Chains A and B, each alone.
Chain A
Amino acid sequence: MTSSEPNSKADTLSPDEVMRYSRHIIMGQVGPAGQRKLKKSKVLIVGAGGLGGPVAIYLALAGVGTIGIVEFDVVDLSNLQRQVLHQTADIDKSKIESAQETLEAYNPHIKVIQHHAPLTSDNAMEILPDYDIVVNGADNFATRYLVNDACYLLGKTLVDGAILLFDGQATVYEPGKCCYRCLYPTPPPPGMVPSCAEAGVLGAITGIVGSIQATEVFKQILNIGTPLTNKLLLIDALTMEFRTMKLRRDPNCPLCGDNPTITELIDYDIFCGSLPLEMPANK
């Protein structure tokens, strides 16, 4: 883990910060106290790709004081159709370095913490506890179940989003109210639901869903509005229809149900079928 130095004191706003955030501070729901709350907040973003990009940029612009990013990949030319943290000159650079440079160029007052590794069952319980809120920008089912389970076990709110082709989904999982396993108890068998690499994804849908996730984080920190908890927002970019479905905690959920059977992190590659069952766990 490496981090940049914060450029200003933790509990106060400098004149530059007051001016920078003035369009937020002027709003009654934010005010100077809310802006200081944003500054003191620590948000972890899993993935610096399509969703992680707009989330990270809007949180950085808003002055969320500490932004952690978990990412292990390098910038590829095929990322640049949608991943706004990275530019052409960043190709082959580590995404996390590129992300930090972009975010600090946007706002020198924030601190970016790099977790330069894939999120695993071994490191999740070391990384997540330092953060107030976790944002999911993962691109695979195994990491999605891992982030869900770790957030529930640690009592962290998870601001979730997912995209594919012209579709987007967003919701907020508050511990004990509903979790990803209540919505989808088991992952699809490998190959049944394609990835963005296999099927494609509209670049701009990452901006729509990521901006919704950033908005939900903002609301969580400031405790304003009505969160997207127990609601699944569905976005169809082709019809530009937004619909909301009800989400419920499943009493039979193996994680957050009445008689949980998952009480610690498991091997998510095996759970998602990406490793054969007879192979030893390779977390």
Chain B
Amino acid sequence: MPIKVNVTSVIEKFVGGQRSFESEGKTIDELIQAINNKFPGFANQLLEENGELRRFVNIYINDEDVRYLGGLGTELKDSDEVSILPALAGG
């Protein structure tokens, strides 16, 4: 099941310079692992050593924050769009 993934400029260098691409997974966790299999080091940008989502990174399914859904275990369905947003501080 292909899922569209959007990343910001900070993350794109960890996924081969793409801002938008397709990957696969039944859950957010599986999606992150699938991307990490292709781009080793990607998951480290998003997850703590204990596997939890870093607190300065937000992941949205469509326009909903996964923290308010089922966290990393949130199930994905066809046509979902996932956006990965680390905090920005530039002004």
Which A residues, 178 to 194, have Cβ-Cβ distances below 8 Å to chain B? 183-188, 192-194
Q: Provided the pairs A165-B9, A185-B55, A186-B55 are in contact, do residues A193 and B91 lie with their beta carbons within 8 angstroms? A: no
Q: Provided the pairs A186-B56, A188-B54 are in contact, do residues A245 and B63 lie with their beta carbons within 8 angstroms? A: yes
Min Cβ gap B8→A in Å is: 5
Min Cβ gap A42→B in Å is: 21
A221-253 vs B, CB cutoff 8 Å, 1 = contact: the mask equals 000000000000010101100011111101000
Question: Is B47 engaged at the interface, CB distance under 8 Å to the other chain?
Answer: no
Question: Is A196 engaged at the interface, CB distance under 8 Å to the other chain?
Answer: yes
Judge whether A51 and B64 touch: CB under 8 Å: no
B69-91 vs A, CB cutoff 8 Å, 1 = contact: the mask equals 00000000000000101111111
Judge whether B60 and A193 touch: CB under 8 Å: no
Interface of B is mostly: mixed
In the bound complex, what is the Cα–Cα distance between A51 and B91 (angstroms)? 5
Q: Provided the pairs A138-B91, A164-B88, A236-B19 are in contact, do residues A193 and B10 lie with their beta carbons within 8 angstroms? A: yes
In the bound complex, what is the Cα–Cα distance between A164 and B10 (angstroms)? 8
Min Cβ gap A260→B in Å is: 17
Question: Is A47 engaged at the interface, CB distance under 8 Å to the other chain?
Answer: yes
> Nearest residue in B to A183 (C-beta to C-beta)?
B58
Judge whether B87 and A244 touch: CB under 8 Å: no
Question: Is A114 engaged at the interface, CB distance under 8 Å to the other chain?
Answer: no
Judge whether A136 and B87 touch: CB under 8 Å: no
Task: List chain A residues, Cβ under 8 A from B37.
Answer: none
Which one of A47, A50, A139, A184 lies within 8 Å of B87 (CB-CB)? A184
In the bound complex, what is the Cα–Cα distance between A196 and B90 (angstroms)? 6
Task: List chain A residues, Cβ under 8 A from B6.
Answer: 236, 243
Min Cβ gap B91→A in Å is: 4
Which one of A139, A161, A166, A186 lies within 8 Å of B9 (CB-CB)? A166
Q: Provided the pairs A51-B91, A167-B8, A238-B19 are in contact, do residues A193 and B86 lie with their beta carbons within 8 angstroms? A: yes
Q: Provided the pairs A50-B90, A138-B91, A163-B90 are in contact, do residues A234 and B83 lie with their beta carbons within 8 angstroms? A: yes
Min Cβ gap B34→A in Å is: 23
In the bound complex, what is the Cα–Cα distance between A169 and B10 (angstroms)? 13
Task: List chain A residues, Cβ under 8 A from B91.
Answer: 47, 49-52, 136-139, 161-163, 196
Task: List chain B residues, Cβ under 8 A from A133.
Answer: none
Q: Provided the pairs A47-B91, A162-B89, A184-B55 are in contact, do residues A245 and B10 lie with their beta carbons within 8 angstroms? A: no
Judge whether A199 and B83 touch: CB under 8 Å: no
Interface set of A (CB-CB < 8 Å, partner B): 47, 49-52, 136-141, 144, 161-167, 169, 183-188, 192-196, 199, 201, 234, 236, 238-239, 243-248, 250
Extra contacts, 11 of them, besides A245-B63, A250-B67 (Cβ < 8 A), are A47-B91, A136-B91, A141-B89, A162-B89, A163-B91, A169-B85, A185-B55, A186-B56, A187-B87, A193-B89, A201-B90
Q: What 5 pairs between A and B have smallest CB-CB spacing?
A: A165-B9, A196-B90, A162-B88, A139-B91, A186-B55
* 29 A-B contact pairs sorted by A residue (CB < 8 Å): A50-B90, A138-B89, A141-B87, A144-B89, A161-B91, A162-B87, A162-B89, A162-B90, A164-B8, A165-B9, A183-B58, A185-B55, A187-B56, A188-B56, A193-B10, A193-B56, A193-B87, A193-B88, A193-B89, A195-B89, A195-B90, A234-B85, A236-B6, A236-B19, A238-B19, A239-B19, A245-B58, A245-B60, A245-B65
Interface set of B (CB-CB < 8 Å, partner A): 6, 8-10, 19-20, 54-56, 58, 60, 63-65, 67-68, 83, 85-91
